[in-house]
């Protein structure tokens, strides 16, 4: 291996590491931003179900949307999430049932049952916003998920505002660190994918 090639390789690795760290810092900083305000609806990003009940992470996202609804920030809630492998019910349907049990009127809940990933959550939710003439939405997810989710919402031309749950189940330092690494990887992967489109 030539000296020049080694220098190029080391420079590339340092640049990649530096960029990864920069994105991670930006994701972490953005997690503290709360843009909650009055809007037409809240879009809640799916996070799995366990035994036909919302997963602990998903439940806190749903609870946050219920808070927004009951406190007059939104009049409608859009739950997202399709049917996962070996499941009979969609994430969004389970979320809807949970919200109804907790005081949200059935007619104020809308669901999409086709999505599998965050980008699809937002794309199918956008269809619902167009069908119902919703122009301004609050985007609900975990704090460290908000940076990537908001970037995707912007790419879909959604007028979205970040409203992260304040009761995220990702509380321990280890859990937050793992989630941050995951989000940083997917954020960069999404950027690279869009660059080559």
How confident is the model at residue 2, as a pLDDT? Answer: 64
- 12, pLDDT greater than 90: no
How confident is the model at residue 86, as a pLDDT? Answer: 78
d(CA 184, CA 28): 10
Task: Just give the CATH number of 30-195.
Answer: 3.40.50.620
Q: Where are the domains of the chain?
A: 30-195
d(CA 18, CA 83): 38
User: Which residues fall within 8 angstroms of residue 114, CB to CB, at 6 or more apart?
Assistant: 82, 120, 124
Q: Three-state SS across the chain? A: CCHHHHHHHHHHHHHHHHHHHHHHHHHHHHCCCCCCCCCCEEEECCCCEECCEECHHHHHHHHHHHHHHHCCCCCEEEECCCCCCCCCCCHHHHHHHHHHHCCCCHHHEEECCCCCCHHHHHHHHHHHHHHCCCCEEEEECCHHHHHHHHHHHHHCCCEEEECCCCCCCCCCHHHHHHHHHHHHHHHHHHHHHHHCC
- 173, pLDDT greater than 90: no
Tens-digit pLDDT profile for residues 18-39: 999 999 999 999 999 999 999 9
How confident is the model at residue 197, as a pLDDT? Answer: 67
pTM exceeding the 0.95 threshold for the entire prediction: no
- 193, pLDDT greater than 90: no
């Amino acid at each position: 291996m030539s000296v020049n090639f080694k220098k190029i390789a080391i420079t590339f690795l340092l640049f990649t590491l530096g960029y990864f760290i920069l994105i991670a810092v930006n994701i972490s900083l953005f997690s503290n931003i709360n843009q909650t305000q009055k809007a037409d609806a809240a879009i809640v990003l799916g996070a799995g179900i366990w035994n036909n009940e919302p997963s602990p992470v998903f439940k806190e996202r749903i609870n946050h949307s219920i808070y927004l609804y009951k406190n007059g920030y939104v009049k409608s809630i859009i739950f997202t999430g399709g049917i996962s492998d070996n499941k009979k019910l969609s994430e969004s349907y389970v979320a809807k049932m949970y919200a109804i049990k907790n005081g949200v009127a059935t007619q104020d809940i809308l669901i999409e049952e086709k999505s599998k990933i965050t980008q699809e959550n937002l794309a199918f939710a956008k269809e619902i916003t167009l069908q119902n003439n919703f122009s301004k939405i609050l985007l609900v997810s975990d704090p460290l998920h908000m940076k990537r989710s908001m970037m995707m919402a912007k790419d879909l031309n959604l007028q979205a505002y970040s409203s992260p749950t304040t009761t995220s189940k990702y509380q321990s330092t280890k859990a937050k660190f793992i989630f941050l690494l995951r989000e940083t990887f997917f954020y960069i992967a999404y950027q690279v994918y869009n660059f080559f489109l």
